Structure 1
Amino acid sequence: MQPESAAYLWDVRAAGNRVATFTAELTQESYAADELRKSAVERQLEIVGEALNKLRKADPEAATTIPDISRIIGLRNILIHGYAVVDDAVVWTAATERLPELLKVVDGLLSELE
């Protein structure tokens, strides 16, 4: 793994943990009605996608260990560039179902480095 890879993985973990904090004790409906939390979650998912995009460029081998990396980066692109068509249900699923799975992989990679 390249030296900068760990920094990108740490960024993913930090942003992912923030998302977990921001969505704790919310339902999908209460999330969709809360503009502040939606904005915060979307921003952290942008960070996750950008960090993985940088990881893929800097360390393609490490990037292959991240399931659905292209989809994660694609969500980041939609959040940033296609903000007018963001689907709250897709973001909610990413934040509450997919992100915990990603964080397990990232934690495993980081523990290998320690």
Structure 2
Amino acid sequence: MRPERLYLIDIVEAADAIARFLADVDEETSMQDELRQRAVLQKVVVIGEAAARLPAEFKSRHPEIPWPDIVAFRNIAVHEYFAVDWRIVWITATQEVPELRRRILFLLEKIGDD
């Protein structure tokens, strides 16, 4: 099994990519850029996939991270693709992902090289 630390790093790297994709872009511009939307959504899916692969025991030790919500968003993006609300993707990418990144970095510091 892959170490938890690597999944957490995957989350941080995907969050960093989202930040790059949306640097200096407002919501209106993003909504008109299909390629950018799809790129952001793919990285949100990566975040959800990494969260889903973390062991339940690990997630239960770190309830400060909304693991079920992260995985649920991934499931909607993958299985209900045509129901994706791009405004929710925007909010997720610009508000929730940066906060998640901050929390994951804190968690990485806390767990060290375990």
Give the structure-1-normalised TM-score. 0.89
In proportion to residue count, which structure has more helix? Answer: 1
The answer on 1:84 being equivalent to 2:69 is no
**What is the total number of aligned residue pairs between the two structures?**
112
Give the SS at the match of 2:12.
helix
Report deviation, 1:111. 1.6
Question: Structure 1 regions of 5+ residues with no counterpart?
Answer: none
Structure 2 residue aligned with 1:47: 46
TM-score (norm 2): 0.89
Unaligned runs of 5+ in 2: none
Q: Deviations over 1:11-41 (max 9, x none)?
A: 0000010001001111111111101101100
Q: Is the Cα–Cα contact under 8 Å of residues 55 and 62 in structure 1 kept in the other structure?
A: no
Contact 1:55 1:63 in 2 (8 A): no
The CA deviation at 1:65 is: 3.2
Task: Give the aligned partner of residue 99 of structure 1.
Answer: 97
Give distance in 2, aligned partners of 1:6 and 1:80.
Answer: 24
Distance between the aligned counterparts of 2:107 and 2:78, measured in 1? 27
Change (3 A) 1:23 1:42: same
